[in-house]
Each structure stands twice: as C-alpha cells, then as structure tokens.
Amino acid sequence: MSPTMNRCQEVLASVRRIIRAIDLHSRFLVQNHGLTGPQLVLLQEVSRMADVTVGELATRASLSPPTVTAILDRLEKSGLVERKRSVEDRRRVHIAVTPAGKELLLESPPPLQQRFVTEFEALSDWEQTQILASLQRIASMMDASTLEAAPLLSSGPLTDDTETETEAIDETVCLSDSPTDHKTA
C-alpha cells in the first residue's frame, strides 16, 4: 500500500471515530437522561439565562427561533421548562427551567462539545488555525462544505421537522466564548 493511500485510510478512520464518538454520546444522553444533545444545551442555556425569551435563546445557541421553539416544545412536554407571559409585555414569552429540569441538569453529563472547547482553547493560535483549515478542507473534499450544521456535537436532526432545522442553523458561531460558559447553574 502506498504512503498516500495509508494516510488517506488513517484520515477516514479518524473521521469515522469522530462520528462514532458523537453518536455514542448522543445515544448515552438519550438512554440515560432522556435528552438529546441539543435539548441538553438549550436546557443549560435557559438555566444560565434567567427568564430568557425564545429569540434571545436562539441567538445564544446560534439556531433559528423555529428550531428552538420545536426543541422547547419537547422540553416543556417533558416538564423540564415552562413558558410564562411577560407581565410588562404580554406579547413576550419567557422560558424558565422547572425544578425537574434543574434536577436533570445536575445529573446530566456536560455536552460533548464542552470538552472539545476546553481542549481547543488550550491550543496555540497556529494549532487552532491548522485544525480549522484541515477540517474545512476535509468537509470540502467530502462535498459537505455547503451543508448547514449547528455548533453542537450531536447526531441526528435537531428537531423532528427537518425543513425547520435546515432552514436556519448558523454554522459559523460556537456556543461558548470560554469553557466556563458551560457550567450548569
């Protein structure tokens, strides 16, 4: 086997390991905590941002308001968040974590991207740039550079409504500015 073919196989195996790690973490969350990765991230953000609106949450999570609304619908149905009309402006609806949601947050592991963010931020600028460039090139080589993707490490669709998901996910923004942003309340 040529050195080029061997390196190619190693790259593909690494990509597959990344996909597998994301899939295993997503399955673990669902099986052990009843949450998907995006649900966990939104639950954490709602907990961190007291009485947040859907629009504010969507901005913070780099997701469209319809996508956030669909995820919040499931969280509310599970009794993990509640919606309340603003007293000052009845048109505004605020989201808050319920006691059951707070308890689940205490039991849940951090999102998979939290470890990545911590490790990535510890790298020097040139290493971060090299990783970014390499991954962008791989995405391009796999004809995936134009696909929309959320800044969440999760497998499967963010919502059951694929049309809503694909119309509004911003792939350019990370959820955190620093690893400390990911601590649960």
Boundaries of every domain in the chain:
3-182
Dihedral sign of CA atoms 66, 183, 106, 174 in order: positive
What kind of fold does domain 3-182 have according to CATH? Arc Repressor Mutant, subunit A (1.10.10)
The predicted-structure confidence for 104-135, as pLDDT tens digits, reads as follows 999 888 777 788 889 999 999 999 999 999 99
Instruction: Render pLDDT for 65-91 as a digit per residue (tens, 0 to 9).
Output: 898 999 999 999 999 999 888 787 777
Give the pLDDT confidence score for residue 112 in this predicted structure: 75
- The pTM assigned to this predicted structure is 0.65
CA gap 19, 12 in Å, rounded: 11
Pairing of strands 81-85, 52-53: unpaired
Q: Is 33 exposed, middle or buried (0-12, 13-18, 19+ CB in 10 A)?
A: middle
> What are 143-174's pLDDT values in tens digits?
887 766 655 555 554 444 433 333 333 322 33
